[in-house]
Structure 1
Amino acid sequence: MTTDKVTPLTKQDFEALSTFRYQLRKFLRFSEEAAQNNGVTPQQYLLLLHVKGSPGREWATIGELAERLQSQHHSVVALVSRCEKLLLVKRRASEIDRRQVNVYLLPAGERCLATLAGLHHNELNTLSDTFRIPNINAKQS
């Protein structure tokens, strides 16, 4: 527990949080099943997504991927190795800092990601109203 002051919540706040968590879990379950149905693990899909979603470039570093995945560096190295074996990604030493490894998508990774991201985009569109949560600290009128 944190020592920060906690604002008391109303019954409506708890209902909103409960609904949000339920819908979030439904989306995550959808995501897990979509990835598995397309021949990759949920973590492999997320790795592909974060490589492609790297701001301003077409690659990501292992460190950036570890942060985005909220995972340990060595775990991401192993995940990248598994994706390399599936020919989804390739890694290359940085030309600027040879200690840094950059991860790029390969054509099979691009195709897999395009399929899965399209499915996820459609699913998110069906949930768009659910993910608009009222400010629980706003005064109720």
Structure 2
Amino acid sequence: MEIPLEKAEFETLADFRYQLRKFLRFSELLTRRHGITNLQYLLLLQIKGFPGRDWAQVGELAERLQAHQHGVVSLISRCEKLGLVERRPGREDRRAVEVHLTTAGEALVARIADRHRQELKELEGVFHEVVTHLR
């Protein structure tokens, strides 16, 4: 049996979605100012932040981006043309492709991620409030 939400819970959820949308809009504008799309930034971030290594395979990136593999291949190609990533043959299986950041990609993702970290620190209280109110 579902417990109906109270007005205060709707307000908390609405504010959370508002703050989340503001953060996403901030991210979109920031990446655009750096000459890339938000999706290109997310690709760079997923490569840099892949658990246990500094590269990822196409299928792994598709999962992390929640996107179709053929779309991720196109995204990788666009980033490759910008000099942000490079493809390398797999170390264990030469048929597999590893996607690595270039030096330019490393520098760009670090700059943008730092600004995201600063923005998220400002939102810390909002996230805590949401969790507290919905318990």
What whole-Å deviation, never above 9, does each CA across 1:95-129 have from its counterpart, x for those lacking one?
Answer: 21233211100001011101100110011011111
**SS, match of residue 52 in structure 2:** coil
For 2:98 and 2:72, the matched residues in 1 are separated by: 12
Instruction: Provide TM-score, normalisation by structure 2.
Output: 0.94
Query: Alpha-carbon deviation of 1:75?
Result: 0.2
TM-score (normalizing by structure 1): 0.90
Gaps of 5+ in 1: none
Aligned to 1:101: 97
How far, CA to CA, are the matches of 2:134 and 2:81 in structure 1? 48
- The alpha-carbon deviation at position 64 of structure 1 amounts to 1.1
Displacement, 1:19?
0.7
Asked whether the 8 Å contact 1:93–1:99 carries over to 2, the reply is yes
| Aligned match of 2:4 | 8
Q: 2:81 aligns to what? A: 85
Identity %: 54
Structure 1 position 30 matched with structure 2 position 26:
yes
Task: Give the superposition deviation at 1:69.
Answer: 0.8
Counterpart residue type for residue 134 of structure 1: V
Give the alignment's Cα RMSD to 1 decimal.
Answer: 1.3
Q: Which residue of 2 aligns with 1:121?
A: 117
| 1:135 to partner: Cα distance | 5.1
1-structure distance, mates of 2:6, 2:127: 19
Structure 2 unaligned regions, length at least 5: none
Please state if 1:42 is matched with 2:44: no
Q: Is the 8 Å Cα contact of residues 47 and 65 (structure 1) preserved in structure 2?
A: yes
Kindly provide the CA deviation profile for residues 46-80 of structure 1, in whole angstroms up to 9, marking residues without a partner as x: 00000000011010111111111111000000000
Residue type matched to 2:94 in 1? R
Mapped to 2, the partners of 1:34 and 1:90 lie a distance apart of 23
